[in-house]
Structure 1
Amino acid sequence: MQKITTFLMFDGVAEEAMTFYVGLFNDAKVLDVTRFGPDGPGREGSVMRAAFQLAGQTFMCIDSAVPHEFGFTPAVSLFVDCDTEEEIDRLHAALSEGGRVHMPLGNHGFSRKFGWTDDRFGVSWQLNLA
């Protein structure tokens, strides 16, 4: 049976990002972390492969062992339906800190409260008050 998992490639901050996300969401946990050893090919101790869950959804992440001239793009984002105003306000504040806001929290006509931001790691998030 096929399984599709969101895969996030970072440049040296995979563990920091994963820890940040797991701390933000209820029912979140780190499932597994495998690190590069002294023989590489990545920096020793950096994340060779990790898996974590947010609200029952599994994500994978790595610290790329190879430098790339690209990063994340808002063309692909993680969409979160929030149950309360307190939740959307908290998540938007945390995710936008040090990042870039594409659409501030507000009523944009298609939702009574919606915001879109890139977090400080470059991952794009759309937050919607369900």
Structure 2
Amino acid sequence: MADTSQKVMTFLMFAGQAEEAMNFYTSLFDNSEIRSIVRYGPGEAGAEGSVMQAAFTLKGQVLMCIDSNIKHDFTFTPAISLYVNCDTEEEIDGAFHRLSEGGYVLMPLGEYPFSRKFGWVADRFGVTWQLSLSGREPN
């Protein structure tokens, strides 16, 4: 289960892609891992083997996710995104490139008044990411 020392966690709801997304996200950043996965079993509300609840870390921060067994008329929106301070040029370039594959760019990777290198991208799952090179933070 999730680390209870972190009192507020991002919770992502997928429609059958939770494990694929976790594996992808944890491959992008150091200090990232899947911590736990509880799967639906036979005869339970969700598809057998899909994610009932999972916890994973990105750069040491805990996030949670599920595979919803209910079809919804909504999905992820850019109104809320994951903001990641990247430590190196290689990290921000690689993460931006991989996250944009199959997704779309909201703000191209470049220099902005609030960051020496920043980009905003929606990944193939619909989750949006704001990536900033550490050094100059937004006001």
Q: Under TM normalisation by the shorter chain, which class is it?
A: over 0.9
- Amino acid in the other structure paired with 1:50: A
After TM superposition, list the pairs within 5 Å mapping 1:1-130 onto structure 2: 3-130=7-134
Gaps (5+ residues) in structure 2?
135-139
Contact 2:29 2:58 (8 Å CA) reproduced: yes
Shift of 1:86: 1.3
- Quote the RMSD (CA, aligned, Å): 1.2
Q: 1:40 to 1:28 in 2, by over 3 A?
A: same
Runs of 4+, deviation exceeding 3 Å:
none
Q: Quote the Cα distance in structure 2 between the aligned partners of 1:47 and 1:2.
A: 21
Segments of 5+ residues of structure 1 without an aligned counterpart are none
How many residues get paired?
A: 130
Q: What is the TM-score of this pair, normalised by structure 2? A: 0.89
* Matched letter for residue 105 of structure 2: V
Partner deviation per Cα, 1:47-84 (whole Å, 9 max, x = no partner): 00001111111110000011001000111011111122
For residues 127 and 51 of structure 2, the distance between their equivalents in structure 1, rounded to whole angstroms, comes to: 17
Bigger Cα displacement from structure 2, 65-74 vs 81-90:
81-90
- What does the per-residue CA deviation read over 1:23-68, in whole Å, with 9 as the maximum and x for residues that have no partner? 1111111111011111120111100000111111111000001100
Alignment partner of 1:30: what SS?
Answer: strand
